Structure 1
Amino acid sequence: MHSNKKFRLFFFSIIIGLLLVISACGNNNDEKAEPEKGETKDKSEVTLDSAMGEVTIPSSAERIMAPFHEDTLLALGVTPVAKWAIGDTVQDYLEKDLKDVPSIEWNLPLEQVLNHDPELIILENNMDGYEGSYEEYNKIAPTYVMTEETTADWRKQIETFGKILGKETEADKALSDYEAKVADAKEQLKKAIGDETVAAIWAVGNQFFLFENNRHSADVVYNELGLNQPALVKELGDAESTQWNPISVEKLSELDADHVFLLALEGEQGIKTLENSAVWQSTPAAQNGNVHLLNDASNWTNKGLLASEKTIDDLVKTLVK
């Protein structure tokens, strides 16, 4: 009897010991299951820095609104729920993909935003251009505000949108493919025109705007493809603001470019003005038949991956024979 009692005590001691070990292991596993600092518990959410500080946004959102930055969304294979517009004016170079997408006015009226029922809103850093405040948009849907640096740099937008949308692989591929396109076009253009100079003029009504070296897609022409600037473009220097300054036909007579891309809608008055101008007709490009008319200026007057690709296509198609 006495020995049975000792055996039972010994047996229960072992069982209790095992239970304590199992319990400790369970606690350790629970601790390891906790996410490390800076990670997100919910894989459908992502936490990122923004112009409004650190924000947590849904990475699984499908109804996305990023006014004026639809270029970046499309580059990542995402169709927005609405597209930027000023009245009937849209970004024409994107219409192949966006023709069936409804418009939203450029200043984002709150009622229009509500009507599109977005799941995620992505805005530029300058909120002054919008009708509503960050807090008002954020009540409608989680809202990410880009930093000034990201707003100004489409490459950073590709990277940032890739993180927001869980499309980092697609973002890396889009940027890699673009760099390959630039390298190929640069080689073709060098062989085709050598050191000849190129300029771009935008005609609106009867006003003319000569692109500075870093104005919109001219940045692609001069700084990525390495095409040469004529003296008048060098004289203009960098674009100091978003404000365009028109240039007179008399001043354009000083444009000694070998090739000029004239961006003007069909029937634009400026086309006739130049055709009838003796001083313009005396410029090297006009005399040699190298004024290349393009009726869609929308990609040239924007910055974005798709805008840049289309500008490269315009240059290669026109200059590489």
Structure 2
Amino acid sequence: MKATLRYRLLIAGALIALLLLAACGKDNGTEASPSATSSAETSVPASAAASGSETPSAEQESGKRIYEHAMGSTEIPTHPQRVISIQYTGAMLALGVKPVGADDEWSVYPLLKEEWAGIEDVGDPWTGLNLEKIISLQPDLIVTHVEQTYEQLAKIAPTIFIPWLKYDVRGQIAEFGDILGKQEEAAQWLADFDAKVEATKLKAAELIGPDETVAIVNLRPTNQFIYGNSAMGGYVIYQALGLKAPETIQRDVIDQKLAMLEISEEVIGDYASADHVFLSVLEADGGKERAEEIKKSGLWAKLPAVQNNRVHDLDWDTYFTTDPLSTLKQLDAFIELLERDRG
């Protein structure tokens, strides 16, 4: 029995080694990248300016460049053709680049579903990536935000690590324009995005007054959060459209550069006493029922937004994603939400 087990382990090890050798020996220049869409100018992150020791002409000749990131320096293609994306798929899709494979974490969200079609699922970054599937896709670049699996991925193909929420929408576009060799597309996308934001501001001004405040409240099965200006619609509401947060949210969340702040149920009124409350609910595992209980409480009834019928249901699946493509679509979704609630 022990000999048989050792034999099986040797065979499994040999198969994995062969897969790795196949991945290392692949021809990276066999497939062309999809056509790019638009993108625009922004302040470029520091890594976007880093080009390593090679001159531009040398990079063009070699097709390689050095990219500096949180885990060190990595030689990557100047124009990657077969990218595996862990979490950053929306930024790539915004620039017209469809990864050959991506994690499945955001594939179910409605704002990305159409563009996601055709991308191979490589597993969940938290519960387990499918490394054999990644090898079989023969990537020439892997981008990830999960430190725990970085070394495993780096053995398959050049891998860069970008911490999640390091960059906002504009920063993501500038950074991935540099990584993917899509600088012109990034500049155009950002110009189009800025124009879209300005047009949306005009519409929002007709629905929310300049002195009115807005709060984003998130109820979950066992706890609750107040969101700042980077996630759960916070980028659109506070950064892009410039809507005002109550003083407590500005002081304790936004000024502290927190994506969200966990609070006790007893102090919801201290943070949600705004003219408008945008409420998102994580309905699974009893979250929906708990939210209904809170909405029947005296604390909730005292909120100005509740008394004035200005509580807006912020769909979790629509506003959970924070990538550039989703954010662009959230601008329209936000106005549609306000217009619908106004009746």
Which category of TM-score, normalised to the shorter sequence, fits these structures?
Answer: 0.7 to 0.9
Partner SS state of residue 122, structure 1? strand
Shift of 1:309: 1.9
Unaligned 5+ segments in structure 1 are: 1-35
Counterpart in the other structure of 2:14 = none
**Which residue type is aligned with residue 123 of structure 1?**
T
Shift of 1:178: 0.8
Equivalent residue pairs, number: 278
Counterpart in the other structure of 1:229 = 245
Counterpart in the other structure of 2:68 = 50
Shift of 1:243: 8.0
Which of 291, 308, 311 does residue 288 from structure 1 map onto?
308
TM-score scaled by length of structure 1: 0.73
Counterpart in the other structure of 1:155 = 170
Cα deviation code 1:139-188 (max 9, x no counterpart): 32232344x69943442332232233232222111111111111111122
Name the % identity. Answer: 31
Q: How does 1:72-87 map to 2 (within 5 A)?
A: 72-85=91-104
Q: How does 1:31-42 map to 2 (within 5 A)?
A: 37-40=55-58, 42=60
Shift of 1:202: 1.6
**Which residue type is aligned with residue 234 of structure 1?**
Q
- The 1-side partners of 2:261 and 2:200 are apart by 30
Contact between 1:253 and 1:279, CA under 8 Å: does it hold in 2?
Answer: yes
- The 2-side partners of 1:189 and 1:61 are apart by 39
Q: How does 1:1-321 map to 2 (within 5 A)?
A: 37-40=55-58, 42=60, 45-51=63-69, 55-85=74-104, 91=109, 93-101=111-119, 102-107=121-126, 108=129, 110-124=131-145, 128=147, 130-133=148-151, 136-146=152-162, 151-194=166-209, 195-215=211-231, 217-238=233-254, 245-254=261-270, 255-265=272-282, 268-295=288-315, 297-320=316-339
Shift of 1:279: 2.0
**Which residue type is aligned with residue 296 of structure 2?**
N
Contact between 1:47 and 1:56, CA under 8 Å: does it hold in 2?
Answer: yes
Counterpart in the other structure of 1:10 = none
Return the structure number with greater relative CO, CA threshold 8 A, min gap 6: 2
TM-score scaled by length of structure 2: 0.69
- The 2-side partners of 1:289 and 1:149 are apart by 35
- The 2-side partners of 1:285 and 1:243 are apart by 23
- The 1-side partners of 2:85 and 2:130 are apart by 14
Instruction: Identify the range of structure 1 (310-319 vs 254-263) with the bigger mean alpha-carbon deviation.
Output: 310-319
Shift of 1:211: 0.9
Partner SS state of residue 262, structure 2? coil
User: Which structure has the larger Rg over C-alpha atoms?
Assistant: 1
How has the CA–CA distance of structure 1 residues 302 and 240 changed in structure 2, closer, same or farther, with 3 Å as cutoff? farther
Shift of 1:220: 3.0
Cα deviation code 1:207-253 (max 9, x no counterpart): 32111345564133123311111233234233758785432333123
- The 2-side partners of 1:303 and 1:313 are apart by 15
Unaligned 5+ segments in structure 2 are: 1-53
- The 1-side partners of 2:179 and 2:259 are apart by 31
